Copies of this chain bind each other. A is one copy, B any other.
Amino acid sequence: LLFLGLRPNLSAVMKSKDIKVMIEEMKKGRRLPLARLISKVENRSADLPEVMKHLYSFTGTGEVWGITGPPGAGKSTLVDCLIKSLRSQGKRVAVIAVDPSSPFSGGAILGDRIRMQEHSRDSGVYIRSLGTRGKHGGLSHATKEVTMVLDAAGFDVILVETAGVGQTELEILRLAQTVAVVLVPESGDGIQVMKAGIMEIADVFVVNKSDRPGADKMVRELLTMVGLGHTDVPTDAHRAEHGKPWRPLVLRTEAVRHKGMEEFVAAMQSHQKYLSDSGKKKEKTKDFLKNELLDILSEKVGTLASQILDTPDGQRLLFDLIERKSDPYESSRKLIQELMKQKEILS
């Protein structure tokens, strides 16, 4: 088999020198080069290897915080308050709002983004929505690389806000070092059932809209869940000590009244301190980079294999499969053989 006619990548490729200049400008705090570099990541530009080559050495200082929870829990308002609190500490803050583009979740996110424009004149704040429609499996990969761009740009805290339902909230574990799960009293019924899943991802539980009925019960249930029984004051006393596993903190907030926000910021920062002190931050960094390598590999192999399947010989391979002259695993072996003949695989 000979696979001819692979499509060349036609997207405009920038010169290495120009990419370097763009990164330097971004590091001076300019918005336009930052936005353009993020777009290159989001659009999976052919420049990406060159961008990462020059940008990667500047990464490694930004903290990535994940904010997740069911739709309607008030995550965006909470993020809005987080920005204010972190700004008052002098931190530079970036927000990535991951819009899973669900046909069922609708357009709340657009309104939120408009509201967040009150920060738009503050050069210490950068907010960006990332759409994910149609990019199968691409959510965590592109988002991860955007956190790296923002890290290199010098943001101290990078907030990743996702409407966590289904598998999304597992992906946030691959992105964020510290994860807050935001709940509201109304989501209380299912706590016992969702116990296993939720314990895996939350470093901090936030019961938002905590003036509503059921808040006390929910806080108690969460405290029981994290093994603190009937204690009522869930903050400082229960921070994990050095060498011990982290025990999730349980907090109350009323984001619309900016109540409980200092405690929330303190909780997230205490988890970051725990990660550094315990050596767990290094493990997280290693996992993050391991996943990044595997994602790059998977994207490259998938793109090349798709192109091969679009050639006449690839179409014949598919035709044999449709006609049951081969089976999927046998055909995939042939596809791998062809893939390994491509020079592009090593470029």
**B-contacting residues of A (Cβ < 8 Å)?**
48-49, 52-53, 56-57, 60, 69-70, 100-107, 132-134, 136-137, 139, 163-171, 174, 181, 187, 189-190, 193-194, 196-198, 200-201, 282, 285-286, 289-290, 292-294, 296-298, 300-302, 305-306, 309, 318, 321-322, 324, 327-333, 335-337, 339-340, 345-347
B309 touches A305 (CB 8 A): no
| Residues A197 and B103 in contact in the complex (CB < 8 Å), given A297-B335, A318-B286, A336-B300 | yes
B167 touches A297 (CB 8 A): no
Q: List 6 A-B contacts (CB under 8 A).
A: A103-B194, A104-B165, A289-B328, A293-B318, A294-B302, A296-B332
| Cβ contacts under 8 Å, A305 to chain B | 293-294, 297
A327 touches B167 (CB 8 A): no
B165 touches A289 (CB 8 A): no
| Cβ contacts under 8 Å, A101 to chain B | 197
| Cβ contacts under 8 Å, A197 to chain B | 101-103, 133
Q: How far, in whole Å, are A134 and B171 apart by their CA atoms in the complex?
A: 9
B328 touches A296 (CB 8 A): yes
A60 touches B324 (CB 8 A): yes
B194 touches A104 (CB 8 A): yes
Which of B100, B104, B345 contacts A187, CB < 8 Å? Answer: B104
| Cβ contacts under 8 Å, A69 to chain B | 104
Closest residue of chain B to A197 (Cβ to Cβ) is B103
Which of B52, B139, B286 contacts A328, CB < 8 Å? Answer: B52
Q: How far, in whole Å, are A336 and B133 apart by their CA atoms in the complex?
A: 28
- Shortest CB distance A332–B (Å): 4
- Shortest CB distance A265–B (Å): 24
| Cβ contacts under 8 Å, A102 to chain B | 164-167, 169, 194, 197
| Residues A137 and B134 in contact in the complex (CB < 8 Å), given A104-B194, A197-B103, A297-B336 | no
